Amino acid sequence: LECAAGQYKGVDEATLAVSCVVCPKDSYCVSNRLYPCPGGTHTDDVGAIKCVANADSAATIVIAVLGSIVGVIFFGGLYVGGKKFYKQYKAALLAQKENHEAKLKRLATAAKGVTSVNFSVCFVPFQQFEKHEKLLNHEEVRQRGDIITLDTYEHVLAFSAKFPTMFISHQWLGVHEPDPNNRHYRAMVAGIKAMCIKHKIPEESLFIWVDYMSIPQVNPKLRELSISSLAVYSSVLQYFLIIAPNCIHYDKQIKVDTDTYQKRGWCRMEQWARMTVGGLEGMFMFDEVELKPLKDPKWFMDSIHVFEGDFTDPADKQKLVDTSIGLWAHTMMEHQNLLTSSTKRDQGPDETVYSLIQQHKSTVFPKAYFGDLVDMLESNLPYVAEQQKVGKDGKGMDGDILFPHELLFLSEGSSPNRKLTLKRDSTVFALHAMIRANTANVTADLDA
């Protein structure tokens, strides 16, 4: 018996007769056989020859497929995004580390900068200065052959140990030249002579430093190099003399005196450097009337507030950030030395500067210019201090410093072997104590 499409061979249960029967609903017939429709499908009509998907099942399948696609996209995005974030995180950590290391290097370099010169220290013998009869610029004085050049910090220390040296600090009386009417030159000569009388300094052996004749004026690059070492120049000499008579500024026609001098940012920096490295001794003010030692605590406090001082170019403040950091580093290092060693009081720095800065740190180091540099310096002071012991060749600071060959003519009977011997435990402040003494016992302390 062959049945038509949509029918199957059915058996009558009563008679057991075989006949063709139409396929019931939700089943289909193929080759005379009955098959139920799978779940989620049905036949459109009784006796259908195939099953079709239910409408809700089709939607479910579509949703399932779409959900799978969205899931793949979502988790794929998470993977890609996570990988990108991880790379960015690693890059940020690396940048943070490099920034930290760069700041550490900057701090160590700033500390070293206090005892190194970017441009030679240029002295002029006082007797020659007196013959000039006015303030001459660097190039004119050099052309006359009146400049003594010292190329290293160690040479300056050695020179100042043998010869009296004096740093002259003053406020310019003109925009383009420092002393148009010769007022400051006359005050300088008078003030220096007063210092010689007070300290029994032979005028013929005195060497002085004055900005206009000791800093190059014609070549701007050399001038910038020299100005960058201004704090070193002011700190390393035996005596520090401020010239501040009552005058009228030639171009601005305003009063210039001790008050306006002390408001100048660069003048404050010179004093701060001197106070930090050279100590408070040997600092004097001459106002054309009398010679006075600097002893006023308020004056000292103003001196360390460099960034509250007046600057012709406000951008100059940024140039003094590293110098200020270097000065504070040395102040803290010497303070630690006093606490942990048997260093005598007169061989170390005056604690006045340390105390003043601790009391006024937020105004001495304004965040707008220093950011976190001061906090970082204080947290890493041992590292910065250790870097000061290492020279360019990786060795310590032990060794002999020979006097420059060109200076030998300044001392009768000088020997080419004359030298200054530095030991690892000889701090800059201890050397300055010897220099300031400048008496017969200096010769015993120096290997000369």
Residue 12 CA, distance from chain mean position: 105
pLDDT averaged over the chain? 82
Exposure of 63 by Cβ count < 10 A (0-12 exposed, 13-18 middle, 19+ buried)? exposed
What is the rounded CA–CA span in Å between residue 13 and residue 187?
Answer: 141
Q: Given this model, what pLDDT does residue 345 score? A: 52
Q: Given this model, what pLDDT does residue 403 score? A: 42
* Residue 25 DSSP SS3: coil
pLDDT band at 27 (very low <50, low <70, confident <90, very high): confident
For residues 286 and 196, the answer to whether their CB atoms sit within 8 Å is no
pLDDT digits (tens, 9 = 90+) for 30-58: 766 777 777 777 777 766 777 777 765 55
pLDDT digits (tens, 9 = 90+) for 362-420: 999 999 999 999 999 999 999 999 988 754 443 333 444 444 434 433 433 333 333 44
Contacts for 210 with CB less than 8 Å, ≥ 6 apart: 124, 129, 135, 168, 170, 188
Number of Cβ within a 10 Å radius of residue 408? 13
pLDDT band at 190 (very low <50, low <70, confident <90, very high): very high
CA atoms within 13 A of residue 61's CA, in its CB half-sphere: 8
